[in-house]
Amino acid sequence: MHVVIMGCGRVGSTLADNLEARGHSVAVIDQDADSFRRLRPDFAGTTVTGAGFDGDVLRQAGIERADAFAAVSSGDNSNIISARLARETFGVSRVAARIYDQRRAQVYERLGIPTVATVRWTADRMLRHLLPEGNVEIFRDSTSTVSIVEVPVHKDWIGRPVRALEEATGTRVAYLIRFGIGTLPTAGTVVQEGDQVFMLVTDDLVNRVTAVAATPEGGQ
């Protein structure tokens, strides 16, 4: 696939190098030609100097044949304008934008443009590393809304169906670690001794889910 990236800072250059390493065609746009020095010396993609919201610049980068577009410059306005241009004018199916302002990110998500709200996501991740209390969080989505946490379960849940635990907690088991191997639960999966249980939660649910799982079935 062909991917156009606007912004050749640390994120854009890393993204470009990773995509090319996976065999994809890549074009990178930046207003500062010196920024392209961040790319690997053997980068074989296209570099275009200019603004990512300029239609002619986008065409030079191959936007008309692009399968995906990433707006990762340092400016929220530039990112969202170029992302909307890529999607609405050039019909690129996969478009994502980095946004620093969480309030703007929510607006753009409603417009159908996936965003990565950098500041809030980073702050939440740092908080969970710094504070000892709470669950072990494995993953948090880019909007900082849904996370996957490891939930210790009471011994009385052993031998009970995973679906019973889901019904009691009001959420889903994302996966289990069993004998050191990740396992996706099915309708017939039961909790076994030694299982590590990882559940999908939102911040308003996590305390209740943890409390329910830590007590015998029907103990709440």
pLDDT tens digits along 117-143? 676 666 666 666 665 555 677 788 767
Provide the pLDDT for residue 33.
94
- pLDDT at 63 > cutoff 90: yes
Percent of the chain past pLDDT 70, that is, above it, reads 83
Q: Is the pLDDT of residue 155 over 70?
A: yes
Q: What is the pLDDT of residues 184-194, one digit of tens each?
A: 999 899 999 88
Same domain (yes/no): 185, 209: yes
Q: Which amino acid is at 136?
A: V
User: Of 100, 121, 142, which residue sits at a domain end?
Assistant: 121
Report the C-alpha gap between 8 and 163 in whole angstroms. 46
Signed CA dihedral, 189, 190, 194, 195: sign only: positive
201: helix, strand or coil = strand
Domain-embedded: residue 128: no
Q: Identify whether residues 21 and 95 lie together within a single domain.
A: yes
Q: How much is the average pLDDT of 21-25?
A: 92
Please tell me whether residues 21 and 84 are part of one structural domain: yes
Q: CB under 8 Å to 112, separation ≥6 — which residues? A: 87
Q: Are 135 and 151 in contact (CB under 8 A)?
A: yes
**Model confidence at 2: pLDDT above 70:** yes
By percentage, how much of the chain surpasses pLDDT 90? 55
Number of continuous H segments (helices) and E segments (strands) in the chain: 7, 11
| CATH code assigned at 192 | 3.30.70.1450
Residue 127 C-alpha from the chain's centroid: 18
**Could you list the residue range(s) of the whole structural domain that residue 209 is in?**
134-213
Domain boundary among 95, 121, 147: 121
- The pLDDT value recorded for residue 75 is 87
Mean per-residue pLDDT of the chain? 86
Span of 2-11, 28-37, 92-101, 159-168 with lowest mean pLDDT: 92-101
pLDDT value at residue 190: 95
**Residue with the two structure tokens 């017939």:** 188
What stretches of 146-195 adopt beta strand conformation (E)?
146-150, 172-178, 181-183
**DSSP 8-state assignment for residue 80:** H
pLDDT at residue 110, rounded to an integer: 65
What mean pLDDT do residues 35-60 have? Answer: 94
pLDDT reported for residue 105: 65
Report pLDDT for 48: 97
Mean pLDDT of 167-195: 91
Residues 67, 96 within the same domain: yes
Beta bridge pairs of residue 87: none
- Which pLDDT belongs to residue 125? 63
Q: Is 10 exposed, middle or buried (0-12, 13-18, 19+ CB in 10 A)?
A: exposed
pLDDT of residue 108 exceeding 70, the answer is no
Mark whether 102 and 196 lie in a shared domain: no
How many C-beta neighbours within 10 Å does residue 52 have? 30
Q: How many domains does the chain have?
A: 2
Element (H, E) at 106: helix 102-110
